[in-house]
Amino acid sequence: MKTFIVIMGLIGMLGARGQVAPNKTDASGKKQGHWIKLDEKQKKLYDGNFADGKPVGKFTYFYDSGIPWAITVFSDNGKIARTKTFDAGGKLTGEGKYIEEKRDSVWKFYNEEGKIISEETYVNGLKSGNCKVFYHSGGLAEEKMWKNGVADGVWKKYFANGQLKYNGMLVKGKVEGRVTFYYDSGQKEAEGLYKGDLKDGDWNYYTEEGKLKRTDKFIEGVNQNPDRDVIPKEEEEKEKKKYEGFEIKDPGGDGNSPH
């Protein structure tokens, strides 16, 4: 996500072409006061104010259509930037804070209907803390802990009815320890251990009525009971994708973020 760098590049462009008054610099070449930057077709790129070469207060960045795609409020000598991003129709797509051009604190992202679709926590530009994904209905779909940009800690998923679907742990991006899957009724569906992102040890599978259906033994992800009535390999892969493939998306990564 390099859009913020693009913005700062736009701010730093001093060529006479595409600029409009007042756009003044002082004797040392630092931008001062109100600046409006235009592109080669005389369409507005941004509108904001500077003090001693630093952006201050509100800056607005525009699509070719003239509709704002981002509104950023700078403070603390331009170090802090609180930003809201918009789609081409003017609807809010995301909001959050930058500190020295790096994402920080809680960022929220929205769909076309204005409903929140994800909430992510950042420290120094990296995901750190609890990050969440939401269903279209607004209910929580997933929550995952991150440390310094790597998934690490509790990982839970939920059905649309609010029931817990999956409960496990991640260690440096890999599934580790006991994992439990549930039916949407709340009844346990399967449970077992992961070691190094692979199934390991005894795995128990249950019917929706709570009765033990079978037990499979795994060693480093390989089922040791091939003659049993077990899930075929292709079904095993489908199961893994179903329960473990739901990653937190970054809607800001589509160019609608000033980063």
Largest CA distance in the chain: 84
CB 212 within 8 A of CB 200: no
Q: Where among 112, 130, 148 does a domain terminate? A: 112
Claim to verify: residue 183 and residue 211 sit in the same structural domain: yes
With respect to residue 67, please indicate whether it lies within any of the assigned structural domains: yes
Q: Cα–Cα distance between 105 and 47 in angstroms, integer?
A: 26
CB 165 within 8 A of CB 157: yes
Question: pLDDT per residue over 131-179, tens digit each?
Answer: 999 999 899 999 999 999 999 999 999 999 999 999 999 999 999 999 9
With respect to residue 60, please indicate whether it lies within any of the assigned structural domains: yes
Cβ-based neighbour number of residue 179 at 10 Å: 20
Identify whether 258 is preceded by a cis peptide bond (ω within 30 of 0).
Answer: no
Claim to verify: residue 157 and residue 102 sit in the same structural domain: no
Claim to verify: residue 70 and residue 148 sit in the same structural domain: no
Per-residue model confidence (pLDDT) at position 227: 61
Claim to verify: residue 6 and residue 103 sit in the same structural domain: yes
Structural domain span for residue 148: 115-248
DSSP 250: -
H or E, element range at 243: helix 233-244
Question: pLDDT per residue over 191-237, tens digit each?
Answer: 999 999 999 999 999 999 999 999 999 998 888 886 654 454 445 55
With respect to residue 35, please indicate whether it lies within any of the assigned structural domains: yes
With respect to residue 103, please indicate whether it lies within any of the assigned structural domains: yes
Q: Where among 67, 88, 112 does a domain terminate? A: 112
What sign results for the dihedral spanned by CA atoms 255, 20, 42, 68? positive
Claim to verify: residue 193 and residue 234 sit in the same structural domain: yes
Claim to verify: residue 237 and residue 189 sit in the same structural domain: yes
With respect to residue 259, please indicate whether it lies within any of the assigned structural domains: no
